[in-house]
Structure 1
Amino acid sequence: MKLTYYGHSTYHVDVDGTELLIDPFFDNPKTDTDPEELDPDYVLLTHGHADHIGDVDRYEGTELVATPEVVSYCRDEYGDFDAVGGMGMNLGGTVECDDAYVTMVRADHTNGLDTDYGATGGMPAGFVISDTKPTQVSDEESMTFYHAGDTALQTEMRDVIGSFLEPDVAAVPIGDHFTMGPAQAAIAVDWVDADYAVPIHYDTFPPIEQNPDDFRREVEATGSDAEVRVLDGDETFDLADELDY
Structure 2
Amino acid sequence: MKLTWYGHSTWLVDVDGTELLIDPFFDNPKTDTDPEELDPDYVLLTHGHADHIGDVDRYEGTKLVATPEVVEYCRDEFGDYEAVGGMGMNLGGTVELDDAFVTMVRADHTNGMETSYGTSGGMPAGFVISDTKPTQVSDQESRTFYHAGDTSLQTEMRDVIGPFLEPDVAAVPIGDHFTMGPWQAAVAVDWVDADYALPMHYDTFPPIEQDPDDFRREVEATGSDAEVTVLDGDETFDLGEELDY
TM range (shorter): over 0.9
2:191 aligned residue: 191
| Per-residue Cα deviation, 1:102-134 (whole angstroms, up to 9, x for no partner) | 00000000001267x972110000000000000
Are 1:234 and 2:234 matched, yes or no? yes
In 2, the alpha carbon distance for the partners of 1:232 and 1:93 equals: 32
In 2, the alpha carbon distance for the partners of 1:113 and 1:189 equals: 30
Superposition pairs for residues 125-140 of structure 1, below 5 Å? 125-140=125-140
2:244 aligned residue: 244
2:12 aligned residue: 12
**Structure 1 SS opposite 2:85:** helix
User: Could you tell me whether the CA contact under 8 Å between 1:151 and 1:173 is conserved in 2?
Assistant: yes
In 1, the alpha carbon distance for the partners of 2:160 and 2:118 equals: 32
User: Could you tell me whether the CA contact under 8 Å between 1:112 and 1:118 is conserved in 2?
Assistant: no
**Structure 1 SS opposite 2:145:** strand
1:176 aligned residue: 176
Superposition pairs for residues 145-160 of structure 1, below 5 Å? 145-160=145-160
In 2, the alpha carbon distance for the partners of 1:87 and 1:62 equals: 14
User: Could you tell me whether the CA contact under 8 Å between 2:114 and 2:121 is conserved in 1?
Assistant: no
1:203 aligned residue: 203
Instruction: State the one-letter code of the partner of 1:163.
Output: P
**Structure 2 SS opposite 1:14:** strand
In 2, the alpha carbon distance for the partners of 1:204 and 1:118 equals: 30
In 2, the alpha carbon distance for the partners of 1:85 and 1:99 equals: 17
List alignment gaps of at least 5 residues for structure 1: none
Pairwise CA distance, 1:12? 0.1
TM-score normalised to structure 2 length: 0.98
In 2, the alpha carbon distance for the partners of 1:68 and 1:187 equals: 31
Instruction: State the one-letter code of the partner of 1:197.
Output: A
Superposition pairs for residues 215-230 of structure 1, below 5 Å? 215-230=215-230
TM-score normalised to structure 1 length: 0.98
In 1, the alpha carbon distance for the partners of 2:57 and 2:206 equals: 26
Are 1:32 and 2:51 matched, yes or no? no
1:56 aligned residue: 56
2:110 aligned residue: 110
| Per-residue Cα deviation, 1:69-119 (whole angstroms, up to 9, x for no partner) | 00000000000000110110000000000000000000000001267x972
The percentage of aligned residue pairs carrying the same residue is: 89
In 2, the alpha carbon distance for the partners of 1:137 and 1:161 equals: 14
In 1, the alpha carbon distance for the partners of 2:31 and 2:244 equals: 28
In 1, the alpha carbon distance for the partners of 2:146 and 2:131 equals: 12
1:142 aligned residue: 142
Instruction: State the one-letter code of the partner of 1:233.
Output: G
**Structure 2 SS opposite 1:73:** helix
Are 1:87 and 2:87 matched, yes or no? yes
List alignment gaps of at least 5 residues for structure 2: none
| Per-residue Cα deviation, 1:212-243 (whole angstroms, up to 9, x for no partner) | 00000000000000000000000000000001
User: Could you tell me whether the CA contact under 8 Å between 2:175 and 2:202 is conserved in 1?
Assistant: yes
1:67 aligned residue: 67
**Structure 1 SS opposite 2:70:** helix
User: Could you tell me whether the CA contact under 8 Å between 1:46 and 1:52 is conserved in 2?
Assistant: yes
RMSD value, Cα: 1.3
State which drifts further: 105-114 or 185-194: 105-114
**Structure 2 SS opposite 1:26:** coil
Pairwise CA distance, 1:244? 3.3
Instruction: State the one-letter code of the partner of 1:202.
Output: Y
In 2, the alpha carbon distance for the partners of 1:40 and 1:22 equals: 10
User: Could you tell me whether the CA contact under 8 Å between 2:102 and 2:130 is conserved in 1?
Assistant: yes
User: Could you tell me whether the CA contact under 8 Å between 1:14 and 1:20 is conserved in 2?
Assistant: yes
In 1, the alpha carbon distance for the partners of 2:127 and 2:119 equals: 23
